[in-house]
Amino acid sequence: MTRITSRFVLLIASAAVAPLVLYGLVSVNHLRSGTQNSVTNGNREVARQVAARIHLYFDNNVRVLRSVGTELVNTHLEEWQQARMLRNHVLDFPEFRGITLFDTAGRQVATSRLVVKQVILPDPADIPESGVYIAPLQLDQDVLPTTIIFLRLDSQQRESGWIVAEISLEELWRTVDQIRVGNEGFALLVAEDGTFIAHGNPDKKRLVAAPLTSSSPERAVATELRTVAAKDDDSSRDYFDSTGRKMLAVGARVGTPSWTVIVEQPTDEAFAITRTLERQLTAAIALALLGTVVLGWFWGRSFITRIFALTKATRAIAEGRMDERVSLSGRDEIRQLGDSFNSMADKLVELQEDVRKQERQAMFGRIAAGLVHDLSHPIQNIGNSCKLILKMFDDVEYRETFKRTVDREMVVVKRVLDDLRNIARPIPLERFPVDINRSVAEVVESMQQHSETAGITLRAELAPETAFIDGDLFALGRVYRNLIINAIQATAPGGLVVAATEAHEKRVQVRVTDTGCGIPPDRLGAVFEDFVTTKRRGLGLGLAISKKIVEQLGGQITVSSEVGKGTTFVLDFPRTKPRPMALAAG
């Protein structure tokens, strides 16, 4: 990914994606906590309503009893009438199993019961101020809960007896059974001692039948919530029930009696809406993100693609493919940049063509000048000799001189023509292991007279060990001679030219160093180019051909120079093994 693409993506992320994600996280979090609180409060409200209904149930029963009792006491009915009245009430209000009227001394006055059942009035110390005492819960033969309500009757500001009713709490079961929160939320009723009075979940009714000492997750949470509800604390509890399902439980106190209504609902149902909303919100945010990214991608793509096209075209131009152009769509600045690029490329081609023309002209000029320079002298000499031979044809000695002159000048011409030919094509070389020390030493030896004539000391400094390179002895000799001649020509009399060899493990080097005038830095890079020379004579192909020979032999040639101090040419070749003696002998 290029830097601009990275930056572009980062721009979209910071400008659009990051705020959107942050908003999403905050929204989801608030939604979750808000709806969970709402569900919990809703369930607690249901529990409170059920508790209120149960309280009302007891309250109503107490009212009925009080009404019956007062009527019985105040109307001075006969015993059979009182009994009849009580029995009618029992038949009309099925929750009353039996009602009995007692006098202040605790003697039974009238009863609805046909079967005598002993009733023990409560200890006065246990009776609240209201005069209503509700006995602890009992379970009857059918597991249905019953309790006994003791109501003190007061007539004309004085105690006038008791009315006692055994009440079946079957109606409470029905009330609890009817409570539904969602599809799987139920209510249950727990007595003050932890007894399960009723459970709305048909599959958990066994808890009602289970002994108080039995343990279960439901019983544990019911105990907790009883304590919580007694303190009017609004806490809820999450727990795993005996089937392993996570439940949300809330409690509410009935008051009188001191029972607790618990409403429980599986959390996966209770918070289903929360989860649905979360999913919807997450989906909406994800869609928005996706939309942002897609739009950004499409827009960015159009932007970056054009930049990539420009980059590619620029590279192509740099690589020399001058015909490369860009075609950019749009009407913006990028398009203008593309048009400018195309104009620039067109101009570059023109300039390049101009430069080529000029260079071609310069090169041809140089070649022509070199050829004229190198060939005019031998041709002039041959011409002059031809003129003389016409006059001195009979002179045998002159005929020999003529022949020698022509041969000599023809060699020069041939050499110039050979150089020209060699620069254009690979130079034919015969490769075989060459003793570098020996090859250098032979050339130095052969050029001693030349160097003495120029007043320059020519010396060979050879490596102590013998080293071979894979080379052409003749071609290498030409290279050494060329370098040494150049060094001699560049060095003033009294100077020094050294041809040295160095042998390394895998490379062999030949150095030709002089103490001449040096080569200026601006010309150093072109010394190996064709037709480049500082001399008055020559085509300037000597170093070019030397470089070609060295490179064909797998080596490389470099130059370093300092004006006024001298120049060093370094030939670097891969070292090779000497030819086996048997081959050498053959």
186 binds another protein (CB under 8 A): no
Amino acid identity of residue 6, one-letter, is S
In this structure, how many other beta carbons lie within 10 angstroms of the beta carbon of residue 190?
25
91 binds another protein (CB under 8 A): yes
290 binds another protein (CB under 8 A): no
At closest approach, how far in Å is the CB of 132 from another protein?
A: 26
In this structure, how many other beta carbons lie within 10 angstroms of the beta carbon of residue 33?
11
Quick one: which segment of 78-86, 149-157, 248-256, 325-333 binds another protein (CB under 8 A)?
A: 78-86
Q: With respect to another protein, which residue has the nearer C-beta, 142 or 323?
A: 142
CA dist., res. 549 & res. 555, Å (int): 9
105, 115, 125, 318: which one contacts another protein (CB under 8 A)? 115
At closest approach, how far in Å is the CB of 86 from another protein?
A: 10
CA dist., res. 433 & res. 25, Å (int): 79
Phi, psi of 21 (to 5 degrees): -65, -45
396 binds another protein (CB under 8 A): no
26, 209, 290, 563: which one contacts another protein (CB under 8 A)? 209
205 binds another protein (CB under 8 A): yes
Q: Nearest CA to 53 among 172, 136, 165?
A: 172
Q: With respect to another protein, which residue has the nearer C-beta, 242 or 466?
A: 242
Residues 6+ apart with CB under 8 A from 1: 9
Q: 46: helix, coil or strand?
A: helix
68, 163, 167, 208: which one contacts another protein (CB under 8 A)? 208
260 binds another protein (CB under 8 A): no
Q: With respect to another protein, which residue has the nearer C-beta, 6 or 88?
A: 88
94 binds another protein (CB under 8 A): yes
Q: End-to-end CA distance of the chain, in Å?
A: 64
Token pair, residue 570, equals 């370094």
Quick one: which segment of 110-118, 265-273, 358-366, 518-526 binds another protein (CB under 8 A)?
A: 110-118
88 binds another protein (CB under 8 A): yes
Give, in degrees to the nearest 5, the angle at Cα 276 between 271 and 281: 125
Quick one: which segment of 80-88, 323-331, 370-378, 571-579 binds another protein (CB under 8 A)?
A: 80-88
Q: With respect to another protein, which residue has the nearer C-beta, 31 or 77?
A: 77
Q: With respect to another protein, which residue has the nearer C-beta, 116 or 318?
A: 116
48 binds another protein (CB under 8 A): no
Amino acid identity of residue 23, one-letter, is Y
Q: Please report the sign of the dihedral spanned by the C-alpha atoms of residue 288, residue 289, residue 290, residue 296.
A: positive
At closest approach, how far in Å is the CB of 263 from another protein?
A: 18
90 binds another protein (CB under 8 A): yes
Amino acid identity of residue 273, one-letter, is I
Quick one: which segment of 11-19, 201-209, 257-265, 332-340 binds another protein (CB under 8 A)?
A: 201-209
171 binds another protein (CB under 8 A): no
Q: With respect to another protein, which residue has the nearer C-beta, 39 or 90?
A: 90
* Cβ(185)–Cβ(263) below 8 Å: yes
35, 61, 100, 112: which one contacts another protein (CB under 8 A)? 112
Quick one: which segment of 77-85, 254-262, 474-482, 534-542 binds another protein (CB under 8 A)?
A: 77-85
170 binds another protein (CB under 8 A): yes
* Cβ(467)–Cβ(504) below 8 Å: no
143 binds another protein (CB under 8 A): yes
Strands of 260-315, DSSP E: 260-266
The 3 state secondary structure assigned to 361-402 is: HHHHHHHHHHHHHHHHHHHHHHHHHHHHHHHCCCCHHHHHHH
- Go through the chain and tell me how many residues it has: 586
The number of residues that bind another protein (CB under 8 A) is: 34
Quick one: which segment of 199-207, 265-273, 349-357, 395-403 binds another protein (CB under 8 A)?
A: 199-207
Amino acid identity of residue 243, one-letter, is T
113 binds another protein (CB under 8 A): yes
Token pair, residue 186, equals 């139920």
Q: With respect to another protein, which residue has the nearer C-beta, 205 or 431?
A: 205
* Cβ(100)–Cβ(113) below 8 Å: yes
Quick one: which segment of 1-9, 103-111, 170-178, 511-519 binds another protein (CB under 8 A)?
A: 170-178
Counting runs of H as helices and runs of E as strands, what totals does the chain give? 16, 18
183 binds another protein (CB under 8 A): no
* Cβ(198)–Cβ(208) below 8 Å: yes
212 binds another protein (CB under 8 A): no
CA 21 to chain centre: 17
Element (H, E) at 500: strand 496-503
**Residue 277 backbone zone (phi > 0: left; psi -120 to 50: alpha; other: beta):** alpha
206 binds another protein (CB under 8 A): yes
Q: With respect to another protein, which residue has the nearer C-beta, 46 or 207?
A: 207
At closest approach, how far in Å is the CB of 211 from another protein?
A: 9
28, 210, 307, 570: which one contacts another protein (CB under 8 A)? 210
Amino acid identity of residue 178, one-letter, is Q
1, 76, 105, 116: which one contacts another protein (CB under 8 A)? 116
* Cβ(296)–Cβ(10) below 8 Å: no
* Cβ(479)–Cβ(547) below 8 Å: no
CA 576 to chain centre: 53
Q: With respect to another protein, which residue has the nearer C-beta, 210 or 524?
A: 210
CA dist., res. 327 & res. 486, Å (int): 54
Token pair, residue 398, equals 């002159």
Quick one: which segment of 109-117, 265-273, 294-302, 456-464 binds another protein (CB under 8 A)?
A: 109-117
219 binds another protein (CB under 8 A): no
Question: Rounded to the nearest 10 degrees, what angle do helices 333-391 and 272-318 cross at?
Answer: 20
123, 142, 407, 522: which one contacts another protein (CB under 8 A)? 142
Amino acid identity of residue 342, one-letter, is N
39, 62, 72, 87: which one contacts another protein (CB under 8 A)? 87
Restricted to residues 546-565, the positions that interact with another protein (CB under 8 A) are none
DSSP one-letter code for 244 = S
Q: With respect to another protein, which residue has the nearer C-beta, 79 or 445?
A: 79
Chain residues that interact with another protein, rule: CB under 8 A: 78-81, 84, 87-88, 90-91, 94, 112-116, 139-144, 168, 170, 173-174, 177, 202-203, 205-210
